[in-house]
């Protein structure tokens, strides 16, 4: 049986619109656990672990003022933290 973990569902898209004011992509959902891990630990984005598309997502989140990147040091807002916790829960835990 194939796992459904990390799959973007209609419910996740709908909830992301409510929380973040737009429907996230599959790539964004899969980037969120890495962001959570990073801010809980080193706060340092490892550029060898993110690709060009993920870098674009980080830039978008920065423009939306959800995150701040100073060099490789990542900071996120409490609101964004709450949103990604809920979305990751929906996509990886409550499946």
Distance CA 9, CA 50 (A): 23
Which residues 6+ apart lie within 8 Å of 6 measured at CB?
29, 30, 91, 92
Spatial contact of 77 and 65, defined as CB atoms under 8 Å apart:
yes
Spatial contact of 17 and 23, defined as CB atoms under 8 Å apart:
yes
Going by pLDDT thresholds of 50, 70 and 90, the confidence category of residue 47 is confident
- Tell me what pLDDT residue 1 has: 45
- Tell me what pLDDT residue 2 has: 56
Task: Pick the more confident residue, 70 or 2.
Answer: 70
How do the domains of the chain map onto residue ranges? 10-93
CATH class of 10-93: mainly alpha
Task: Pick the more confident residue, 43 or 4.
Answer: 43
């Amino acid at each position: 049986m194939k796992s459904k973990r990390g799959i973007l569902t209609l419910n996740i898209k709908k909830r992301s619109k409510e929380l973040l004011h737009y429907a996230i992509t599959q790539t964004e959902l899969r980037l969120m656990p890495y962001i959570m891990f990073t801010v809980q630990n080193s706060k340092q984005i490892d550029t060898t672990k993110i690709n060009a598309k993920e870098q674009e997502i980080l830039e978008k989140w920065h423009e939306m003022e959800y995150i701040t990147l100073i060099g490789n040091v990542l900071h996120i807002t409490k609101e964004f933290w709450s949103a990604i916790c809920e979305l990751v829960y929906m996509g990886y835990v409550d499946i």
